[in-house]
Structure 1
Amino acid sequence: MTIFSKIIAGDIPAYKIAEDEHFFAFLDIFPLVEGHVLVVPKLEVDKFFDMPEDYLGRMLVFSQPIAKAIEKAFPCNRCGMAVVGLEVPHAHLHLVPINGINDLNFTRGKLKLTPEQLKASQEKIIKAMKG
């Protein structure tokens, strides 16, 4: 069982953004920038392109309102998207508010946000999804 499966099951706490029967979205607790969200399938699959074909399209549709909310909640040019898949053996999509290409540079240092900052980011995105 991966760390993401444990988060989905509620065994590990997370700053949940959205959930449906197939996917779970939550804040990355070591984000590239504030507002960095991970979207994972509830189906435990290691590699992104090993997901069933119907999941690939559904994942983008599930992610769309989250990406739009990120753009509203954080000052950015757009919501960037990346699939890397090296740190956790569970397919996942990164949604990141970006102003330039370097905002998606996974080799640079990650932010260390406080629980209060993470909760504030979570609330901003959820509020933007509703409004």
Structure 2
Amino acid sequence: MPSVFSMIINRDLPGHFVWEDDHCAAILSINPIQTGHALVVPRAEIDHWLDVPPELAAHLMVVSQVVGTAQMAAFGPPRVGLVIAGHEVPHTHLHVIPMFEIGDLSFANARASVPPEELARAAERLRSHLPSGG
């Protein structure tokens, strides 16, 4: 059975996309710690990040940097954090999180629910600061 991320990437489930290319997609988290919290997800279903081929891992990092740079411009945090956790969904994904304080890397601070309109506004704001190639 496909992972929830594969179902979003394949448009079987809704998602707020901010980046797509042949190797990965970046979508907004539905349980964000901060507005603009994005997930960079490879198209290939790879459970553990240690199993990601080096070339793909490098690409995911580059996309995460591009998304993080756009988050800085769109939301004004002093830092952007990166977390690879992997317990909640068995499909590698990188959390790219605007940080105003260290607690912004704690999943205990994630919002349980966000109205779709709020996610759509955050996605549009973030996309407006991303290069057109993604």
CA contact (8 A) 2:81 2:97 kept: yes
Deviates more, 1:33-42 or 1:59-68: 59-68
- 1:77 has 2:71 as partner: no
- Partner residue of 1:126? 127
CA distance in 2, matches of 1:111, 1:117: 14
- Partner residue of 2:21? 20
- Partner residue of 1:54? 55
CA contact (8 A) 2:7 2:13 kept: yes
CA contact (8 A) 1:30 1:111 kept: yes
- 1:8 has 2:9 as partner: yes
TM-score, normalising length from structure 1? Answer: 0.94
CA distance in 2, matches of 1:97, 1:25: 14
Shift of 1:130: 4.3
Which consecutive aligned stretches of 4+ in structure 1 deviate over 6 angstroms post-superposition?
none
TM-score, normalising length from structure 2? Answer: 0.92
CA contact (8 A) 1:83 1:93 kept: yes
Shift of 1:111: 4.9
CA deviations 1:84-122 (Å, max 9, x no partner) are 000000000000000111110112342522111111100
Amino acid at match of 2:54: E
Amino acid at match of 1:64: Q
- Partner residue of 1:44? 45
Q: Secondary structure in 2 aligned to 1:38?
A: strand
User: Would the alpha carbon gap of residues 121 and 18 (structure 1) be closer, same or farther in structure 2, given more than 3 Å must change?
Assistant: same
- 1:117 has 2:118 as partner: yes
RMSD of aligned Cα (Å): 1.4
Amino acid at match of 2:36: G
- Partner residue of 2:104? 103
CA distance in 1, matches of 2:110, 2:42: 26
